[in-house]
Chain A
Amino acid sequence: MKYITTIDEREFQIEIVDDHKVIIDGTAYAVDFDTVSNQPVFSLLVDGRSYESYIYPGEEGWQVFLFGTLYLATVEDERERRLRAASGGNVVERGEYFLKAPMPGLVISIPVSEGQQIEQGDVLVILESMKMQNELKSPRAGTISRLRVAPGDNVEQRQTLLSVI
């Protein structure tokens, strides 16, 4: 199976031949890949060199923690790459953005109201968790379409708080 993996705008052509052989940018390596104790800790032996990392699925691709550094990797196979190329490559931001609680907590205040125009980076909700007040900001500009919680509400992790159109 062939993949194109991108880290910091650098593309790697990676072919997984079998469980113990990977070809990266034309060079073959003997690998031994295993999860340690429990996901998401992974151990990789590449030609005898040992690496250990945490790998989490992120919003856009994979988060790889390796030797104290975070790498953001997107992995596409050839079909996905062709599909994306056919759609023009630039995915337009559209549809509703749902702001979800990143952790359980108490809604302290909602400085926006329904129908309000907001800019990227505006504070949408202030959520208290672990004795700290955390500002949840909008990743893009838009209009507040629906508030689903009110100040004083206790919310669960991943609960939708409001949406932005």
Chain B
Amino acid sequence: MFNKVLIANRGEIAVRIIRACRELGMQTVAVFSEADRQALHVRYADEAYLLGPAPSRDSYLRAEKIIDIAKKCRAGAIHPGYGFLAERADFAEACHEAGLVFIGPKPSSIAAMGDKAIARATVARAGVSVVPGTEGEGSLGDEELLALSEEIGFPLLIKATAGGGGKGMREVTNIEEMPALLHAARREAEASFGEGNVYLEKLVVGARHIEIQILADTHGNVIHLGERECSLQRRHQKLLEESPSPFVGDDEDMRQRMGEVAVRAAQSIGYLNAGTIEFLVDKNKNFFFLEMNTRLQVEHPVTEFVTGVDIVKEQIRISRGRQMRYSQEDITMNGWAIECRINAEDPYNNFLPSTGVISHSLLPTGPGVRVDTGIYPGFTISPYYDSLISKLIVWGETRAEAVLRMRRALEEYKIVGVRTNIPFHQSLMDSMRFMTGHFDTRFVEERFSIEAAEEGKVSYPDIAAIMATLVAHQQTQRAAHIIQRGDRDTSNWKWISRWERLRR
């Protein structure tokens, strides 16, 4: 049985896993890229080894090197976190072959769920409904798609196989307009991705994205930890998650049905360890299997807050061959938790990523607040990895208390050095739709704008004016002071002109 865990990841999730290991009295090994020498996971771990240059393919994706390091430092297990190697069946397999425990599911489960067609077929056989469509069926011709469209039913979506970002996507309401739209979708897909393959999917109107957390141990126990609401997304990236879902709410029957279906889907592939079944839920509360994530999720803390289960510790316990500490009867959801993903992105400038040195950071604290982050003042946010720099999670007895607490915490949270999407979350917290829980997966992109949300809010233009003026005033005085000194070797005019040219 292992006592030392190598964490094959970086950032907040590496820190999160190290914390669980430490609390379990286990030794921790960090791996890092040249850009992460000063990262928190390196500082917190008992041992740390360099992987290579900053780009992921030269560092965090080097499976062989990571396994080598694990063997050399006599780590017994590897926790992959999320992203990077977490859902690579070949990596999990290589770990087993090297005599290392992979803290996650069996390689066969990762492979089965990683292939859309196999995943859909497998869970469908277990009696779980899937969103009707042709994804994963290979490339079909127009004739075949037209024939299948009647079966799927309208409205439906044409989506590009190589797709993303809505390119090559068309909404179809009847069979008559289908041929023209197919043609347009293929042309756009061809132009954007170099291949024109498309598939059909039933359009779920007013869809919500709700997922169920699963835990399964080697003793045959499979339990679910309730649901998470993940409908608030932008470009298919989740921005905010909560548990429970306001859409499921008091409907205990629906929660249990979703949970049972998720457990059945997990059992159908002999799933082990932590995993998540994602569902698309329509407005009549019908739910369809979307996909299974065979790893720890970014948003796992909201479930931890309401159930009291430490999911990472449970993962380690399961990997050590122990029995889970909980049975389904032990799991109750208490209160409400919300997570805001804090990204280094400028919400006022088309969510462009922002890089730089964190010069100052003040964390929100106090009752019911948790922050999972890998950054601290002095740390550099580099362009090599994704923009998630922190997760702010709050708990409240009720959803209303959680929302108010999140507002309070967002106002307290100060990050200086890079732009963050904190103002976006603040606007979201103030929006009527969010407060009342009336939103679907299209809400952020189609019906929410930070500028519009700011209209009608109590505003303080006079205070802002005073502050801007005071800052401008200070700057003018400082500039005047510099110009007066005149101790540069060339004239100030020349110096300014050179400086301006440099900035071009």
Q: Which residues of A contact B (CB under 8 A)?
A: 1, 3, 5, 7-8, 10, 12, 14, 16, 22, 24, 29, 31, 33, 37-42, 44, 46, 51, 53-55, 61-71, 73, 75, 77, 98, 102-105, 129-132, 134-135, 157-158, 160
Contact = CB atoms under 8 A, between A and B. Distances in A.
A131 B386 contact: yes
B387 A132 contact: yes
A64 B353 contact: no
B427 A7 contact: no
A66 B353 contact: no
Contact of A102 (B352, B416, B459): B352
A37 B466 contact: no
A16 B473 CA distance: 8
Interface stretch (B97-105, B194-202, B225-233, B354-362): B354-362
A119 B418 CA distance: 31
Interface string B474-504: 0010000000000000000000000000011
B352 A14 contact: no
A98 B503 CA distance: 10
B471 A16 contact: no
Given A37-B362, A41-B416, A98-B504, A66 B430 contact: no
Interface in B435-477: 454, 457-473, 476
A129 B353 contact: yes
A53 B457 contact: no
16 contacts: A12-B465, A22-B466, A24-B465, A29-B466, A31-B470, A37-B360, A40-B416, A51-B460, A69-B423, A69-B454, A71-B459, A71-B461, A102-B352, A131-B386, A132-B353, A134-B352
B342 to A, nearest CB: 14
Contacts of B14: none
Contact of B467 (A42, A132, A134): A42
A103 B454 contact: no
B245 interface: no
A33 B470 contact: yes
A68 B410 contact: yes
Interface string B388-418: 0000000000000000000000110010100
Contact of B459 (A69, A98, A130, A135): A69
A61 B471 CA distance: 11
Interface string B183-206: 000000000000000000000000
Contacts of B466: 12, 14, 22, 24, 29, 31, 44, 46
Given A69-B460, A132-B387, 7 more contacts: A1-B473, A14-B466, A41-B416, A44-B463, A70-B348, A73-B468, A131-B386
Given A3-B472, A55-B471, A68-B426, A12 B387 contact: no
B344 interface: yes
A44 B467 contact: yes
A69 B457 contact: yes
A41 B467 CA distance: 11
B349 interface: yes
A75 B473 CA distance: 9
A68 B347 CA distance: 11
A40 B360 CA distance: 9
B166 interface: no
B383 A130 contact: yes
A2 to B, nearest CB: 10
B410 A75 contact: no
A160 B503 CA distance: 9
B2 interface: no
Contact of B386 (A55, A66, A75, A130): A130
